[in-house]
Every structure is written in structure tokens, then in C-alpha cells.
Structure 1
Amino acid sequence: MIQTRSRVLEHVPLAEKTYRIRLSAPTIAAKILPGQFLMLKLPGLNDPLLGRPFAVYDVDFEQQAIDVVYLVIGKMTTLLQEISPGQELEIWGPLGNGFPELSPGPEAIFVAGGIGQTPFLAYAHQLLGTKGFGGRAAKRVIDKVTLYYGVRNKNLLAGVSDFEKAGVQVKVASDDGSVGYHGLVTGLLEQDPPKAPIITCGPEPMLKAVSKLAEKYGVPCYVSLETPMACGFGACFSCVTAVKTPEGVDYKRVCIDGPVFEASKLVWGH
């Protein structure tokens, strides 16, 4: 883990209350893998006192920078939206275990709800071979990546064009029917029963439902948890989740044992 101050290079809106911020971080950008995350903190402020976790959205290797996408939902992100290019943030990372290295195959399926699409752009680049991460050469391992993306309404759709430019097929569901399929993203997924590995991120009820669908159709499923964290590197034990073990149930720290887990090993509701 590297802790440093990072200069903001870009800060642009993507959707309603949703922004992409680009941070100059050459050393972290060279190491970070899709599915890992950063902790960000506003320098000089004691409220909020602690940092907050943010998934890596993408890496710009020319600028040696990391993109983060966030939704304004609390004190930290309300203050973060006021940050301008040229200002600095405190950051530490890379953190977490990242997404699995899938075996070569015809397709991978991403399922996102709310702001859960944010870890998937870098992973799409990795799987489709358009970018290499962590010092590794780019290598295509998946022929097709499909993103099933659920939002409350069309105003909250963020980054669809980024995924499409990366070569991802995007299928959208909205709770109010204002865009795409009218209903839950799991309903959209079941219209074409999955036959490929599923990777999912979003609210816990959606993750549980996607996990059950994966079990129903007999496909592997990996879950990226959005658990609140205080430190990000395993010292505070504030982000534990229940995981099945041969002995019963154990509690794993999401920040270092996750945030990505095999869905079949999670104990929902703990």
C-alpha cells in the first residue's frame, strides 16, 4: 500500500449527482488491478475524519492517473464534488484483492445496480485485451463482455458511453421504466438466462438475488461488496462479512480478503 497526496487532473459530471475524478498517482496507477480500490480523504479536514473507499474506474496510463466515479450521497462526497483540478487529495492504495483472472471463454457478464458499475470499466479493458494492468501486457481472454446495468431512473445512468467505447454491450433496466427494461436488473438478466461467469456489484439485496440466479443456472458468480470501511487495510475490523468455511462460518475483512468474493461462499444477512 502506498499513501500519498494526489493532484486532481479532471473532475467532470457523468450523470445526476455522479462525477468522474482523475487523480495523478503514477506509482499506484502502475500497480493497481481491476477490482481493487483506493481510500480517499480530503486533506486538512477533521469532519469527515476518516477516508472513504472508492473503486478504481479506469487507469489512464499516458497521464499515469486513476479515474474514480462516485455518487454524491453523504458528507464526504458532498464535499468532494467541490474539489477543482489542481487541488490535492490524500489517497492510499492499491487495496483489496481485485477481480478473478477468468479462463479464456466466449463471454463474461457484469451485473451492476446503483453506482455498482464503477469497478467494471477497467475489468472490461483487461478481459477484452485493450489494456494491461499491474505491469502486465494486455491480453484478450474473453470474446464478449455484457453489462446489465440497473438504475432507479434514466438520469442516474453514468458512464454508458465509456463502456460502449471499450467494446462492452450494455443492457439497461430502470425501476420507473424511463429507460430500457422496466423493472429490476435481475429481471432483465433472466430474459436471456446466463451461460457465462457473472461478476456483480451493487446493493446487497441485488447481490443476493444475482447470486441465487447464478446458482439456478449453474454459472460461477463473483461479488464485489460495497461494505463501508474505516481504514481500508485491515487494522480496524469494521468491514467484516460472514463467509462459509469447512468448519462453519468465519468473518473476513472485506478490505483485505475482498472486496471480491465467490458468491457461493458468502452468508447473506449477517
Structure 2
Amino acid sequence: MAAWTTDDIPPQQGRTVVVTGANSGLGLATTRALVDAGARVLMAVRDVEAGGRVAAELGGAVTVGRLDLADLTSVREFAAGVDHPVDVLVNNAGLMGIPKARTADGFEMQLGVNYLGHFALTGLLLDRITDRVVTLSSGLHRLGRIRLDDLNYDSGRYERWTAYGQSKLACLMFAYELEYRFTGSGSRLRSMAAHPGYAATNLQSRTETVADAVMGVLNKVIAQSGEDGALPTLHAATAPDLPGGMYIGPGGPGEMWGAPVPVGSSAASHDRAVRRRLWDLSEDLTGVPYPV
């Protein structure tokens, strides 16, 4: 079977996609490919001025909306402004390996942006989504452990990479649990997860440590492009017959690069008891109850 590429994206005319973090990195590559395929894309971005410049360059049916995933008020305002059906929601935006910080609502920043903000956004948009939700995880979800007793590092030592791993494990568990609930409620909606492998983006330049320089070198030597890194997301978002609950990543060595294929995930990601407790805790923290 030939490797899946953007040439395999079905025509997207008449379809609407919301992409978070759409003005740079993987989000921009995802948005560009969807627009080229004919989709209407709502770019959900923190900086609407920068997003507007990108939208003007892209052409096509592109609109821009302000979304700050580190502020639940902004998440609610964005969701309230979406007054039309959304075929696909792509939960793409994220932070990686940053120093300890807090969101406007007091959440640990990586968990708040990567996971809790998207959990709230998905729940608030769910009555307008008509096809599927795609949530970005990472191969580094395997570093994570869901700290149900201290999810936001309110006590104890903060370690940025285990915090990142927790946030991406939470994203993956959310995608699986959402699909479980869709199926159990008889919904026709689908929930997918994807990860980009090692893709060269600006995500690797925010740790404020020597790791930024190291990853900058690795980006040039071993990383695949942002366009290739976006392929798993695009496959999860557009493949018409893809079953819900799939996790799509690069098929090459170590899932670092290569064409998108279904991939496996850690045993922890399939722990239904923890997934259920994380879900309940997420509803409590965000104040967003789900109808499924």
C-alpha cells in the first residue's frame, strides 16, 4: 500500500474545521493542507493579528477567532461565538517543556493549555460538531503519569518533562474516553488521537534552557518537516472510513518520522478507571459538563 500523503485527502468542499494553534507549526501546516483541499477553516489563535496575516496569505475560506487556552473565560467566549456546525475539531495547540507557570485559572500551564483548555473547548462545542474530534498527543505520553491527587503540581517538586508527559497522556486518555462515551451513547461522532513524531516546529524553543539549542540542532539533523509532522493529524481528521478511537502517528522507526499509520500507546493510556476519574476531575476543574 502506498504511503498516505496530502494527495490522499478527500475533497473538503462544504466542510468546516476548527484548528487550535493554527497560525504556526503543525497547526499552520494542518490548516494549509485543509484549505488547499477546499475546507473552510476557523483558525483558533491567541494572537488574532498574527492569525489574520496568516489567513490573508492562505486565501481560501479562512476565518480567525481569538482563543487563549490558558484562560477558560477566553475558551467560553470563543465557543459562544461559533454559531455554525463544525465538521471537525482539531485540538492541536500546545506547549512543551516550559518552566513552571500557571494559567489564568490556576492550572499548571502545560496541563492547562494542552489538555484542560481543549477538554473545555470540546465540551462547549460538542453540540455543533457533526463528524469527529482529533486531539494531539505525543510519543512522550509514555513519560507521563496522571497525578490524580495533585494534577496541577500544587505541592511537591515540579519537573517540566514529566509534567509535559502527563499533559499528553491526559490528551490521549481524553480521546479514548470520548470515543468510549460516543459509542456508549449511540452517537455517530468519532474521537481520534494523533501525534507528529519528531517534527521541526517552534514548540522546541520555549524551555528557556540549553535544551532549546540542542533541539534546534536536532531539528536540522533528524527531525521531519512540520508538513510531514502534520500528516497524522490530517489523516485522522479526513480519512472517511477511519474508525473512532484510532491513534495515528508516523510509521517509521520509533514513530519519529514516516507516513501516518495506526500506532499503539502505553498501558496507562488504556486504564479505564483512571480515565474515568480524570474525566470527572476535568469536569469539576473546568466547570464544563459533557452530555455523553
User: Do the two structures share a fold, i.e. TM-score over 0.5?
Assistant: no
Q: TM-score normalised to the size of structure 1? A: 0.38
> Which of the two has greater helix per residue?
2
Q: TM-score normalised to the size of structure 2? A: 0.36
> Which of the two has greater strand per residue?
1
